[in-house]
Chains A and B, each alone.
Chain A
Amino acid sequence: KKRQMGIASFFARK
Protein backbone atom coordinates (compact mmCIF):
# COMPACT_ATOMS: atom_id res chain seq x y z
CA LYS A 1 0.00 0.00 0.00
CA LYS A 2 1.34 3.41 -0.93
CA ARG A 3 1.02 6.44 1.29
CA GLN A 4 0.54 9.95 -0.08
CA MET A 5 3.19 12.32 1.24
CA GLY A 6 2.50 15.99 1.91
CA ILE A 7 4.36 18.53 -0.20
CA ALA A 8 5.54 20.58 2.78
CA SER A 9 7.62 17.66 4.06
CA PHE A 10 9.95 18.08 1.06
CA PHE A 11 10.54 21.81 1.06
CA ALA A 12 11.68 24.19 3.79
CA ARG A 13 9.32 26.93 4.91
CA LYS A 14 10.25 30.43 3.86
Chain B
Amino acid sequence: MFEARLLQGGLLKKVLDSIKDIITEGNFDCSPNGLSLQAMDSSHVSLIDILLESEGFEHYRCDRNIPMGLNITNLVKMIKCAGSEDIVTIKCEDKPDNVTFLFESKDNDKISDFEMKTMTIDDEHLLVPDQTYTAVVKMPSAEFQRLCRDMAAIGDTVNISVTKEGVRFSTTGDMGTANITVRPNPSGDQKEEERTEVQITEPVSAGFALRYLNSFTKATPLSPTVTLGMVPNLPIVVEYKIADMGHVRYYLAPKIED
Protein backbone atom coordinates (compact mmCIF):
# COMPACT_ATOMS: atom_id res chain seq x y z
CA MET B 1 0.00 0.00 0.00
CA PHE B 2 0.90 3.64 -0.31
CA GLU B 3 0.40 6.29 2.34
CA ALA B 4 1.98 9.74 2.46
CA ARG B 5 1.24 12.57 4.88
CA LEU B 6 2.21 16.07 3.88
CA LEU B 7 2.12 18.81 6.51
CA GLN B 8 2.05 21.63 3.97
CA GLY B 9 -0.97 20.66 1.90
CA GLY B 10 -0.78 24.00 0.11
CA LEU B 11 2.32 22.68 -1.61
CA LEU B 12 0.22 20.13 -3.50
CA LYS B 13 -1.98 22.91 -4.85
CA LYS B 14 1.09 24.78 -6.06
CA VAL B 15 2.49 21.66 -7.72
CA LEU B 16 -0.82 21.02 -9.49
CA ASP B 17 -1.02 24.66 -10.58
CA SER B 18 2.38 24.19 -12.18
CA ILE B 19 1.18 21.35 -14.45
CA LYS B 20 -2.57 21.73 -14.97
CA ASP B 21 -2.23 23.95 -18.05
CA ILE B 22 0.18 21.51 -19.70
CA ILE B 23 -1.20 18.03 -19.06
CA THR B 24 -4.71 16.69 -18.51
CA GLU B 25 -3.74 13.30 -17.11
CA GLY B 26 -0.67 11.63 -15.73
CA ASN B 27 0.77 8.69 -13.84
CA PHE B 28 1.99 9.60 -10.39
CA ASP B 29 4.58 6.96 -9.65
CA CYS B 30 4.69 6.03 -5.99
CA SER B 31 7.96 4.40 -5.00
CA PRO B 32 9.96 4.01 -1.78
CA ASN B 33 12.02 7.06 -2.89
CA GLY B 34 9.05 9.35 -3.28
CA LEU B 35 6.22 10.47 -5.46
CA SER B 36 7.16 11.33 -9.02
CA LEU B 37 5.51 12.18 -12.29
CA GLN B 38 6.80 12.32 -15.82
CA ALA B 39 4.51 13.42 -18.62
CA MET B 40 4.64 15.04 -22.04
CA ASP B 41 2.24 17.76 -23.10
CA SER B 42 -0.33 16.76 -25.73
CA SER B 43 1.88 18.09 -28.57
CA HIS B 44 4.89 16.12 -27.27
CA VAL B 45 7.07 19.22 -27.35
CA SER B 46 7.77 19.47 -23.62
CA LEU B 47 8.25 17.10 -20.73
CA ILE B 48 7.32 17.60 -17.08
CA ASP B 49 9.36 15.87 -14.41
CA ILE B 50 8.24 16.16 -10.79
CA LEU B 51 9.86 14.63 -7.74
CA LEU B 52 8.55 14.85 -4.19
CA GLU B 53 11.05 12.91 -2.10
CA SER B 54 9.82 10.60 0.65
CA GLU B 55 11.94 12.49 3.23
CA GLY B 56 9.86 15.62 2.61
CA PHE B 57 6.72 13.92 3.93
CA GLU B 58 5.92 13.74 7.62
CA HIS B 59 4.99 10.10 7.16
CA TYR B 60 5.70 8.01 4.08
CA ARG B 61 5.04 4.39 3.42
CA CYS B 62 5.33 2.68 0.06
CA ASP B 63 5.84 -1.08 -0.08
CA ARG B 64 6.18 -1.38 -3.84
CA ASN B 65 6.09 0.75 -6.96
CA ILE B 66 2.53 1.83 -7.74
CA PRO B 67 1.53 3.82 -10.83
CA MET B 68 -1.37 6.05 -9.86
CA GLY B 69 -3.05 7.27 -13.06
CA LEU B 70 -5.05 10.41 -12.41
CA ASN B 71 -7.05 12.93 -14.37
CA ILE B 72 -5.32 16.19 -13.50
CA THR B 73 -8.39 18.39 -14.00
CA ASN B 74 -10.35 16.30 -11.50
CA LEU B 75 -7.41 16.13 -9.14
CA VAL B 76 -7.21 19.93 -9.12
CA LYS B 77 -10.93 20.10 -8.30
CA MET B 78 -10.46 17.75 -5.37
CA ILE B 79 -7.31 19.29 -3.95
CA LYS B 80 -8.99 22.71 -4.16
CA CYS B 81 -11.34 21.44 -1.45
CA ALA B 82 -8.40 21.37 0.97
CA GLY B 83 -7.59 24.49 2.95
CA SER B 84 -4.19 25.91 2.10
CA GLU B 85 -3.01 25.19 5.66
CA ASP B 86 -4.46 21.69 5.76
CA ILE B 87 -2.43 18.56 6.31
CA VAL B 88 -2.99 16.22 3.36
CA THR B 89 -2.68 12.45 3.41
CA ILE B 90 -2.72 10.47 0.15
CA LYS B 91 -3.58 6.77 0.41
CA CYS B 92 -4.10 3.91 -2.02
CA GLU B 93 -3.82 0.14 -2.33
CA ASP B 94 -1.19 -1.64 -4.40
CA LYS B 95 -3.40 -1.86 -7.50
CA PRO B 96 -5.64 1.08 -6.87
CA ASP B 97 -9.06 1.70 -8.39
CA ASN B 98 -9.31 4.70 -6.10
CA VAL B 99 -7.05 7.10 -4.28
CA THR B 100 -8.09 8.63 -0.98
CA PHE B 101 -7.21 12.19 0.00
CA LEU B 102 -7.58 13.05 3.65
CA PHE B 103 -7.57 16.72 4.63
CA GLU B 104 -7.06 17.71 8.27
CA SER B 105 -7.33 21.30 9.33
CA LYS B 106 -4.35 22.70 11.19
CA ASP B 107 -6.27 22.95 14.45
CA ASN B 108 -7.59 19.44 13.93
CA ASP B 109 -11.22 20.60 14.09
CA LYS B 110 -12.19 19.50 10.60
CA ILE B 111 -11.42 16.28 8.79
CA SER B 112 -12.51 15.53 5.23
CA ASP B 113 -11.90 12.58 2.99
CA PHE B 114 -12.27 12.47 -0.75
CA GLU B 115 -11.98 9.41 -2.92
CA MET B 116 -11.01 9.73 -6.54
CA LYS B 117 -11.14 7.12 -9.28
CA THR B 118 -7.86 6.22 -10.91
CA MET B 119 -7.42 5.60 -14.62
CA THR B 120 -5.08 3.46 -16.69
CA ILE B 121 -2.72 5.66 -18.65
CA ASP B 122 -0.43 4.20 -21.27
CA ASP B 123 2.37 6.66 -21.49
CA GLU B 124 5.90 6.21 -22.65
CA HIS B 125 8.59 7.20 -20.22
CA LEU B 126 11.62 8.99 -21.59
CA LEU B 127 15.09 8.52 -20.21
CA VAL B 128 16.47 11.94 -19.38
CA PRO B 129 20.23 11.55 -19.01
CA ASP B 130 22.15 13.21 -16.20
CA GLN B 131 23.45 16.12 -18.19
CA THR B 132 26.34 18.48 -17.76
CA TYR B 133 24.93 21.76 -18.99
CA THR B 134 27.02 24.08 -21.14
CA ALA B 135 25.24 27.05 -19.60
CA VAL B 136 23.41 27.29 -16.29
CA VAL B 137 21.52 30.44 -15.35
CA LYS B 138 20.00 30.93 -11.92
CA MET B 139 17.72 33.90 -11.54
CA PRO B 140 14.76 35.11 -9.47
CA SER B 141 11.71 33.14 -10.61
CA ALA B 142 9.47 36.23 -10.56
CA GLU B 143 11.86 38.01 -12.91
CA PHE B 144 11.84 35.06 -15.32
CA GLN B 145 8.04 35.02 -15.20
CA ARG B 146 7.85 38.73 -15.99
CA LEU B 147 10.37 38.36 -18.77
CA CYS B 148 8.52 35.47 -20.46
CA ARG B 149 5.24 37.39 -20.22
CA ASP B 150 6.79 40.53 -21.75
CA MET B 151 8.45 38.55 -24.54
CA ALA B 152 5.17 36.75 -25.34
CA ALA B 153 3.46 40.12 -25.80
CA ILE B 154 5.79 40.78 -28.74
CA GLY B 155 6.55 37.40 -30.36
CA ASP B 156 5.98 33.64 -30.35
CA THR B 157 9.57 32.45 -30.17
CA VAL B 158 12.33 33.62 -27.88
CA ASN B 159 15.97 33.26 -28.65
CA ILE B 160 17.98 32.70 -25.48
CA SER B 161 21.71 33.44 -25.74
CA VAL B 162 23.98 32.88 -22.78
CA THR B 163 27.47 34.32 -22.60
CA LYS B 164 29.56 35.07 -19.55
CA GLU B 165 28.30 38.66 -19.74
CA GLY B 166 24.72 37.57 -19.21
CA VAL B 167 21.59 36.12 -20.78
CA ARG B 168 19.95 37.78 -23.73
CA PHE B 169 16.30 37.07 -24.51
CA SER B 170 15.19 38.23 -27.98
CA THR B 171 11.95 37.98 -29.89
CA THR B 172 10.41 39.28 -33.09
CA GLY B 173 6.76 39.72 -33.98
CA ASP B 174 4.49 41.64 -36.35
CA MET B 175 4.84 44.84 -34.34
CA GLY B 176 8.60 44.74 -33.92
CA THR B 177 11.35 43.26 -31.81
CA ALA B 178 12.33 43.04 -28.16
CA ASN B 179 15.61 42.29 -26.44
CA ILE B 180 16.11 41.89 -22.72
CA THR B 181 19.53 41.20 -21.26
CA VAL B 182 19.86 39.99 -17.72
CA ARG B 183 23.33 40.41 -16.27
CA PRO B 184 24.86 38.46 -13.42
CA ASN B 185 24.88 40.82 -10.49
CA PRO B 186 27.73 41.00 -8.03
CA SER B 187 27.12 39.28 -4.74
CA GLY B 188 26.76 42.43 -2.67
CA ASP B 189 23.87 43.26 -0.43
CA GLN B 190 21.47 41.07 -2.33
CA LYS B 191 19.96 37.99 -0.86
CA GLU B 192 20.96 34.82 -2.65
CA GLU B 193 17.52 34.39 -4.22
CA GLU B 194 17.66 37.88 -5.72
CA ARG B 195 20.89 37.25 -7.58
CA THR B 196 21.37 36.25 -11.18
CA GLU B 197 24.21 33.79 -11.66
CA VAL B 198 25.63 32.52 -14.93
CA GLN B 199 27.96 29.56 -15.27
CA ILE B 200 29.10 28.63 -18.76
CA THR B 201 31.73 26.51 -20.43
CA GLU B 202 30.94 28.05 -23.82
CA PRO B 203 28.29 30.44 -25.17
CA VAL B 204 24.96 28.81 -26.09
CA SER B 205 22.07 30.12 -28.12
CA ALA B 206 18.74 28.54 -29.08
CA GLY B 207 15.11 29.38 -29.89
CA PHE B 208 12.11 28.22 -27.84
CA ALA B 209 8.34 28.60 -28.05
CA LEU B 210 7.18 31.23 -25.56
CA ARG B 211 3.80 29.56 -25.11
CA TYR B 212 5.48 26.70 -23.25
CA LEU B 213 7.94 28.82 -21.28
CA ASN B 214 5.01 30.91 -20.11
CA SER B 215 3.16 27.81 -18.94
CA PHE B 216 6.24 26.70 -17.02
CA THR B 217 6.24 29.95 -15.05
CA LYS B 218 3.04 28.78 -13.34
CA ALA B 219 5.53 27.02 -11.03
CA THR B 220 6.84 30.39 -9.79
CA PRO B 221 5.10 30.15 -6.36
CA LEU B 222 7.09 26.96 -5.68
CA SER B 223 10.47 28.64 -5.54
CA PRO B 224 12.04 32.11 -5.32
CA THR B 225 14.59 31.10 -7.96
CA VAL B 226 14.54 29.28 -11.28
CA THR B 227 17.45 27.56 -12.99
CA LEU B 228 17.79 27.30 -16.76
CA GLY B 229 20.15 24.69 -18.17
CA MET B 230 21.20 24.69 -21.81
CA VAL B 231 23.28 22.48 -24.08
CA PRO B 232 23.62 23.30 -27.81
CA ASN B 233 20.91 21.58 -29.88
CA LEU B 234 19.29 19.91 -26.89
CA PRO B 235 16.15 20.74 -24.89
CA ILE B 236 16.38 23.51 -22.32
CA VAL B 237 15.60 22.53 -18.73
CA VAL B 238 13.69 24.96 -16.54
CA GLU B 239 13.93 23.88 -12.92
CA TYR B 240 12.05 25.04 -9.84
CA LYS B 241 13.41 23.48 -6.66
CA ILE B 242 10.93 22.69 -3.93
CA ALA B 243 12.63 23.30 -0.57
CA ASP B 244 13.48 20.08 1.32
CA MET B 245 11.28 18.12 -1.05
CA GLY B 246 12.40 17.84 -4.66
CA HIS B 247 11.69 19.72 -7.86
CA VAL B 248 9.45 20.53 -10.78
CA ARG B 249 11.46 20.43 -14.01
CA TYR B 250 10.34 21.19 -17.51
CA TYR B 251 12.22 20.14 -20.62
CA LEU B 252 11.40 22.02 -23.81
CA ALA B 253 12.57 20.99 -27.28
CA PRO B 254 14.27 23.78 -29.24
CA LYS B 255 13.09 25.23 -32.51
CA ILE B 256 15.50 24.33 -35.27
CA GLU B 257 16.25 26.35 -38.38
CA ASP B 258 14.72 24.58 -41.38
Contacts and interface: CB of A to CB of B under 8 A. Distances in A.
B127 A7 contact: no
Contacts of B127: 11-14
B44 interface: yes
B160 interface: no
Contact of B253 (A4, A12, A13): A4
A2 B206 CA distance: 11
B220 interface: no
Contact of A8 (B44, B129, B254): B44
Interface string B230-258: 00001100000000000000011111111
B126 A5 contact: no
B45 interface: yes
Q: How large is the interface on A (under 10, 10 to 19, 20 to 34, 35 or more residues)?
A: 10 to 19
A7 B45 contact: yes
Q: How large is the interface on B (under 10, 10 to 19, 20 to 34, 35 or more residues)?
A: 20 to 34
B44 A7 contact: yes
B44 A4 contact: no
A13 to B, nearest CB: 5
Q: Which of A5, A7, A13 is packed against the most chain B CB atoms within 10 Å? A: A7
B124 interface: yes
Contacts, number: 61
A14 B257 CA distance: 29
A5 B253 contact: yes
A7 B40 contact: yes
A8 B124 contact: yes
Interface in B152-182: 157
Contact of B254 (A5, A11, A14): A5
Contacts of B255: 2-5
B27 to A, nearest CB: 12
Contacts of B209: 4
A2 B46 contact: no
A12 B128 CA distance: 8
Interface of B: 40, 43-47, 124-129, 157, 207, 209, 234-235, 251-258
- A-B complex: 3 closest residue pairs judged by Cβ atoms: A14-B125, A2-B255, A11-B126
Given A7-B126, A11-B128, 6 more contacts: A7-B235, A8-B124, A10-B234, A10-B235, A10-B253, A11-B47
15 contacts: A2-B257, A3-B256, A5-B45, A5-B255, A6-B43, A7-B126, A7-B251, A7-B252, A8-B124, A10-B253, A11-B47, A11-B126, A11-B129, A13-B125, A14-B126
